[in-house]
Amino acid sequence: MQPNAASPWPWRHVLITGASSGIGRALAEALAAPGVTLHLGGRDAARLAEAAVACTALGATVVTRQADVRDAAAMADWVGGAGPLDLVIANAGIGAGTGRGFERADDARAVFETNVTGVLNTVIPAVAAMATQPAGPGGLRGRVAVLASIASFVATPGAPAYAASKAAVQRWAEALDATERRRGIRLHSICPGYIRTPLTARNRFPMPLLMEPAEAARRALAGLAAGRIRIVFPWRLYLLARLVGALPPGWRAALMAGFPGKD
């Protein structure tokens, strides 16, 4: 693997949660280049080390942290102590659904603790740290992105906690952007469709327009570089989700009643 001669992206100090696999690792590798410092976090030490090796081979300086985003104190210590940050991506997330029947209480709580509380534990210290940084071109101090999902736009019976958790962070990030941009901090929601990751590998149903992680990372970073608040892809799946999500709840429930649940 040859180091990137130069990064096509403007960020030189980046922190990513859930960077040991899937979209998180793809984002890290897409950003890795000489002169770039990556702070990569994940719960699996072995996979995190593999990601670090790959990004180092591309020329980046890599600092890893075995981190559980549910631990507020640990996240505040990590994010707050990382030094200057141009971009923070709250990527860590898990999924569960009704593939085995009723969505069990423990599964639902775990999804919200990681996908919502974990995002809060990442974004809040990131915004606080960026607020103390000197402003750059255009008065920008930094960007924070949260990984939501096209599932944010549909109350999906097959994965109720997952859809709700992603809707919560998508709306929170977009609303927060309206106020934090006054301080030079931009917030973004990234809403992908189906991506080929360990999370989707468990799905026992067709996944239309399934995308590779590298392509998802490219589209996400292009959206961030363009300054878009909401970054969605693929568009055909997004439009379908908006149409289904706009149906009266009873109609939507009837339409989706026969869809298999997410494991």
Give CA–CA dist 101/260, Å, rounded.
10
Q: Could you tell me if residue 57 is inside a domain?
A: yes
Q: Could you tell me if residue 209 is inside a domain?
A: yes
Which of 176-193 are b and which e, b meaning 16 or more Cβ less than 10 Å from the residue's Cβ? Answer: bbeebeeebbbbbbbbbb
Q: Could you tell me if residue 24 is inside a domain?
A: yes
Whole-number pLDDT of residue 205: 65
238 is catalytic: no
pLDDT, tens only, 28-54: 999 999 999 999 999 999 999 999 999
Give CA–CA dist 254/261, Å, rounded.
15
Q: Indicate which CATH number applies to the domain containing 89.
A: 3.40.50.720
Q: Could you tell me if residue 6 is inside a domain?
A: no
Q: Could you tell me if residue 181 is inside a domain?
A: yes
Q: Which domain holds residue 198?
A: 13-256
pLDDT above 70 covers a percentage of the chain that reads 90
Domain total for the chain?
Answer: 1
Whole-number pLDDT of residue 210: 87
Give CA–CA dist 5/61, Å, rounded.
14
Q: Could you tell me if residue 201 is inside a domain?
A: yes
CA distances from 221 to 23, 88, 101, 218, 248 (A): 11, 12, 37, 5, 35
Does the reported pTM lie above 0.85?
A: yes
Q: Could you tell me if residue 4 is inside a domain?
A: no
SS3 56: helix
pLDDT of 98 higher than 50: no
pLDDT above 90 covers a percentage of the chain that reads 73
Q: Could you tell me if residue 160 is inside a domain?
A: yes
Residues in the chain: 263
Please identify which of the residues 11, 162, 172, 238 carries the catalytic annotation.
162
pLDDT, tens only, 209-234: 788 999 999 999 999 999 999 999 99
pLDDT, tens only, 70-84: 999 999 999 999 999
